Structure 1
Amino acid sequence: SISQIVRASVMTRHMSQQNMLFVFCAFNVIFWFGLYAYFQEKLTIHGDAPPELVVMCPQYFIYTVVAYCGSYFKRGNTKKEKSSTREEPEGFVARQPPWHVFVCIAAATFGSYYFSFRALRHVSYLLKVLGKTCKPIPILVLGLCFGKTYPPRKYASVLLITSGAAVFFLFQAKPPSPQVDPVASSLDWAPLTGIFLLALSLACDGLAGVLEDKYIAEFNLGPFDLMLRISALSWVGCGVLLGRDWLILWHLPLATWQLIGVIGVCGGLGQVFLFVSIAAFGSLSTSVVGTCRKMLTMLTSIYVFQHPVAPAQVVGLGCAFMGMVMSTGFKPSSFAIDMNVLAWLYHHRKLHQTNHVV
C-alpha cells in the first residue's frame, strides 16, 4: 500500500542520515583525538614536560568550557522541542542525581588521566597507548564479579591484546631514554614503574566505566551534562592539588602554553563527538571508532617520532591489532535486526514494483 511505501522510504532516508552522522562523528573522533595524541607526545617526547597537574589544570578548564557550550546549545534545542510538542505536567520535577555521583566518576576519570600521563615519564608514548588498549581487562573482571557473562570472543580478544602488550614490553630493544626518569632508570625500575602506573590507570578506567553505566541508567544523564560536571569537578580538584605549582603554571613559556591549549582544545572537541557518538549509536559502534583511532595513533607515532621497533615487537603489535579487531565484532542479534529491516524494505519495494506492473 501507499502508507507502507512511504514508511519504507522514510526508514531508508533515516538510515541514510544516521549513516552520514556516524561517519561524521567517527571522522571527528579520529581526527581530534589523533591531533591530541600527536601534540601530547610532542610535549613529553624530550622529557622536559611540566608536572602532570600543571598540564592537566588548564586542559580541564578547556574541557569545562567546551562541555558548557555543548550543554548550552543542547539545552536550547531541548526547550524548542518541548515547546513544539508538549509541556510537562504541572508540578513535574525531574530526578536530579546527587553530587557524590559526579564526584565518584570525576575521581575515577581524573585518576585514569593522571596515572597514564605520569607513566610517560617511564615508558614511551607508544607503549602507553598499547597499554591503554587493555582497558577491557578491568571491565571484564568487574563484570565477572557482578555475575555478568561474556562470549568466548571477548575472552579471546582480551587475551590477544594483553599478550601483544606483554610481548611489546618484554622485547624492547632499549628503554625509551628521552622519557625515562634518571633516578628510576639507574635503579632499572622505570619500565616496571610505568607499567604499574598504566595498571592503576586501567583500574580507574574500569571503575569509571562501571559508575558511568550505573548512574546514566539510573538518573538518565545526558552526555553534555555528564561531561560538564565531571570536567568542572576535575578542574577544581586539580587546582586544589596543584598547590605551589601554581607558580610554575604562571611562568610557563608561551610555546608551552600554546601547546597545552591546543591539546586541551583537541581533547575537548574529541570528547564532544565521542559523547555524541555514544548517545546516538551506543558503545558497541563507538568502540569500532576507538579501535581505529588507537591503531592509527600507534602507527602515526612510530612513523612521525621514529620509535625503534624490534621484530618481536612487531609481532606483539600484530597480536594486539588482531585482538582489537576481534573485540569490535558485532553481536549476531543486532546483525539479525539489521537484516530484518533490509528484508522488510526489499519485500515492500518488490511488492510495489509488482503492483505497478499489474
Structure 2
Amino acid sequence: MALDKRFLLYASGIFICYFYFGILQERITRGKYGEGETQEKFTYTLALVFVQCVVNFAYAKIMLSTVMKQGEDKTSRMYYASSALTYLLAMVCSNMALQWVNYPTQVVGKSCKPIPVMILGVLFGNKSYPMAKYLFILTVVLGVAMFMYKDKPVSAKQEVDSGIGIGEILLILSLIMDGLTGAIQERMKTEYQSKSGHMMLYMNLWSVGYLAFALLITGEMFDFAGFISRHPFVLWDLTTFSIASALGQFFIFRMIADYGALPCSIVTTTRKFFTVMASVLYFGNQLSGRQWTGAVLVFAGLTMDSVYGKKKAPKKS
C-alpha cells in the first residue's frame, strides 16, 4: 500500500508540475503585455531558457549533494560542451516555436522525439530496433501528420496565425537537436558510464555559459531587463516556470529510481495528452476532429512503444 501511495505521489507531482509548467510557458510566450497601443509580446527566448537553465543547474547541484549522490564524474568535458549546445538549441527552438504555434501543437510535435533518436541510432550508433518499435513510431508519425496538416485558411488573419510553417520548422530543428543530444549522451554512457545527475549539472552549467555570452553579444540581456522593468510580474512567472520544470524532473528521477523507466514513460506520455486537453480548455486553443484523432494516435503510439517496444534487437554486425 505504501508503494502505491508513493507511486501516486510521484505521478501526481509529474502531472501538477508540468501542468503548471505548460500553462506558464504558453502564458509567457503567447501573452500580450501592456494596454492599448503599447501592448507587446514576450520575445526573449534566450533569456527565458537562461532562467530555466540556471534553476536546473541549482536543482542538480542540490540533488547531487543530498539525495542523488553519484560519486566522481570522469566524463570528458568536451562531451558536456557539445551535448549542452545541442540541448540548448533544442530548448531555444522549442520555446521560440511558441511564438507561431500554440502549446498543443508544440507538445504533439515534441512527442516525435523518439524518431530522430532512432534514425541517428541506426545511422551512427550501429543500432537495430524490433519491427514492433518501427510500427509504433509509424503510428506516431501518422498522428503528427494528421495533427499538423493545415486546412485551407478561411481568412487572412488565420493564415497569419497558422505561422506559415515557421513554428513547425523550429519544432523540426528542435527534434533534430534532441536526436543529436541523445546520440552524444549514449556515447557518454558507453565510454564513461555517465550518470543522469552529472549530465544535468554540467549540461546546464555549459548552457548557462553559452546563453550568458549570447545574451551579451545580441544585446537581448538589456532588452530583457527593460521588458522586466515595464512588466515586473513576468519575473515571478519565469521563476515559477523554471521551478516547476525542475521539480517535475525530481519526480521523474524518483519514479525511475523506484519503479523503473516503463511506468515513468507511461505517466509522462499520459501527462502530455492531458496537458493538450488543459491547454484547449484554459486558453481556448480549438482543435478540429482530425487534430484530436492525430493527437490520440500520437499518444497511443508512444504508450504502446513504452509498453511493448523496449525489447532490444541484436546490434548490426
TM-score range, shorter chain: 0.7 to 0.9
Separation (CA, whole Å) in 2 of partners of 1:177 and 1:38 = 28
Aligned equivalent of 1:320: 298
For residues 88-237 of structure 1, the aligned pairs below 5 Å read 96-145=74-123, 146-172=125-151, 174=153, 185=160, 190-237=163-210
Aligned equivalent of 1:71: 64
Aligned equivalent of 1:29: 14
Residue deviations 1:105-149 (CA, integer Å, cap 9, x gap): 211210110111111122111111110111111011112223322
1:171 Cα deviation after fit: 4.0
Q: Which blocks of at least 5 consecutive residues in structure 1 are unaligned?
A: 1-15, 80-93, 335-358
Separation (CA, whole Å) in 1 of partners of 2:126 and 2:21 = 37
The structure-2 alpha-carbon separation of the partners of 1:216 and 1:176, relative to structure 1 and needing over 3 Å to count, comes to farther
The structure-2 alpha-carbon separation of the partners of 1:152 and 1:238, relative to structure 1 and needing over 3 Å to count, comes to same
1:95 Cα deviation after fit: 6.4
Separation (CA, whole Å) in 2 of partners of 1:210 and 1:37 = 27
1:250 Cα deviation after fit: 2.4
Larger deviation, residues 104-113 vs 283-292:
283-292
Aligned equivalent of 2:35: none
Residue deviations 1:22-60 (CA, integer Å, cap 9, x gap): 443333222212211111011122361131012111221
Contact 1:172/1:313 (<8 A) preserved: no
Residue deviations 1:59-105 (CA, integer Å, cap 9, x gap): 21111111111111147x679xxxxxxxxxxxxxx661121111122
Q: RMSD between aligned alpha carbons?
A: 2.9
Separation (CA, whole Å) in 1 of partners of 2:61 and 2:165 = 39
Contact 1:157/1:324 (<8 A) preserved: yes
Separation (CA, whole Å) in 2 of partners of 1:161 and 1:322 = 8
Aligned equivalent of 2:234: 256
Contact 1:172/1:309 (<8 A) preserved: no
Separation (CA, whole Å) in 1 of partners of 2:256 and 2:156 = 38
Aligned equivalent of 1:61: 54
Contact 2:19/2:275 (<8 A) preserved: yes
Query: What TM-score, normalized to structure 1?
Result: 0.75
Query: What TM-score, normalized to structure 2?
Result: 0.83
Larger deviation, residues 168-177 vs 302-311:
168-177
Q: Once the two structures are aligned, what percentage of the paired residues are identical?
A: 23
Compare CA radii of gyration and give the structure with the larger one.
1
The structure-2 alpha-carbon separation of the partners of 1:239 and 1:332, relative to structure 1 and needing over 3 Å to count, comes to closer
Separation (CA, whole Å) in 2 of partners of 1:177 and 1:154 = 41
Aligned equivalent of 2:36: none
How many residue pairs match? The answer is: 298
1:297 Cα deviation after fit: 0.9
Is 1:286 paired with 2:264?
yes
| Aligned-partner SS, 2:126 | coil
Q: Which blocks of at least 5 consecutive residues in structure 2 are unaligned?
A: 33-40, 313-317
